[in-house]
Structure 1
Amino acid sequence: MRNVRVVYRKYDGKLHWHQWMRYLGEDQYGVWLGAPAGAIAQRGDEPEITMPAACVQLFPRDKWFTASFNDVPQKTLIYCDVTTPVTFGDEEFTMVDLDLDVVKRRDGTFYVDDEDEFAEHQVKYGYPADVVRAAQASCDWLVAAVMTEEPFLTTYKKYLDQVR
């Protein structure tokens, strides 16, 4: 069993969310990692939190997002972070969180979160124009894809089964 440290940073390099997850495999959508209910995650140097449900994360190659798929009882089914493309290491995956989030709840409701933070951080961190364009394009694509395309419809379920 191979464990991978997942490290999200902010554009200024500051540590954001991080945790250890188990390597589950790779398919045409990217690399899949999973964590059982009770796994530990941490934002920056804040106190650790215990995850109430199993989850799997998708780390696509050369795409500007990552995606989390949560088991019950989480109200959020799918949570996509718009990020820089993932840097894949043997023991660590890293990426920069670019604020925008595309969220699908278990009840079917859907929204884009943190658009205000994305606007603020473009100024605060001086996001280059190409980063802004890529992040917005990824968000726009996710808005449609999360409701209509794989791996957001059923593909993730076989990976979630592995960590339940």
Structure 2
Amino acid sequence: MPGEQPRFEPGTPVRGQYSKWGGARHHGADLVYLGADEHGDWLGDPVGNQWSGGPKSFESVSDNVLLVPPDRGSTAMFYSAHPEQAFELYCDITTVPVWDGTHVTAVDLDLDVIRRFDGSWFVDDEDEFAEHRVSYGYPVEVVAAAEAECARVADEIRSGATRLAMETAEPWFAAFRRLRRV
């Protein structure tokens, strides 16, 4: 696929881990490296995958792909259509993700920008962000960066930006399907 040099060979197992501010564990899962393009690294999240470590563990109900940009304070999970899946796109507002070998980590900063399959979208967990910025003591620059990234992602969803278009994720879904057949 066009774009950036892949970080690993497609199919390489990787670990994605989100924490909360101050190092408290949050959700994490074992994922599959798919490749990279101009938007960042793409990871596969297979149906039945266990996400644990957060307030609730959950299992992926469909095959999904996760975009991890190299220089943005967000990640973007694209979901396959499934009766139990309410969202097409779930953007976590985070610190800039950091790679350490085959582990990628980011601090979840509560705010989420979510698009449903019908195209409608909303910002979620603004109340949690307001509470945690005080209880976790988010530094002023972290608050400003999270609010700016949330507004930027919302603008991209509103405008139909290529980075967050399902058409951009489709080649990565296809790559994931090919890897799963091997």
Q: Same fold (TM over 0.5)?
A: yes
Which residue of structure 1 aligns with residue 31 of structure 2?
21
| 1:155 aligns with one of 164, 168, 171 | 168
Answer 1 or 2: which has greater helix percent: 2
| 2:127 aligns with one of 91, 96, 116 | 116
TM-score normalised according to structure 2 size: 0.85
Report 1:35-74 matches (<5 A): 35-44=45-54, 46=56, 48-73=57-82, 74=85
Residue by residue over 1:111-147, the C-alpha shift from the partner in whole angstroms, topping out at 9 and shown as x without a partner, is 0000001111110011111111100000001011024
- Percent identity between matched residues is 39
> In angstroms, what is the RMSD of aligned CA positions?
1.3
Query: Cα offset for 1:160?
Result: 1.5
Query: Cα offset for 1:108?
Result: 1.4
Partner secondary structure for residue 151 of structure 2: helix
Aligned partners of 1:158, 1:28: CA distance in 2, in Å? 13
Query: Cα offset for 1:45?
Result: 7.4
| 2:41 aligns with one of 31, 38, 42 | 31
Query: Cα offset for 1:163?
Result: 2.6
Q: Is the 8 A contact 1:38 1:53 kept in 2?
A: yes
Q: Is the 8 A contact 1:64 1:83 kept in 2?
A: yes
Query: Cα offset for 1:75?
Result: 1.9
Q: Is the 8 A contact 1:38 1:51 kept in 2?
A: yes
Aligned residues: 163
**Match for 2:115: what amino acid?**
K
Which residue of structure 2 aligns with residue 7 of structure 1?
17
Query: Cα offset for 1:66?
Result: 0.5
Answer 1 or 2: which has greater strand percent: 1
Aligned partners of 1:155, 1:141: CA distance in 2, in Å? 18
Q: Is the 8 A contact 1:14 1:44 kept in 2?
A: no
Gap runs ≥5 in structure 1: none
Query: Cα offset for 1:26?
Result: 0.9
Return the structure number with greater relative CO, CA threshold 8 A, min gap 6.
1
Partner secondary structure for residue 100 of structure 1: strand
Aligned partners of 2:114, 2:55: CA distance in 1, in Å? 25
Aligned partners of 2:55, 2:111: CA distance in 1, in Å? 22
Which residue of structure 2 aligns with residue 101 of structure 1?
112
TM-score normalised according to structure 1 size: 0.94
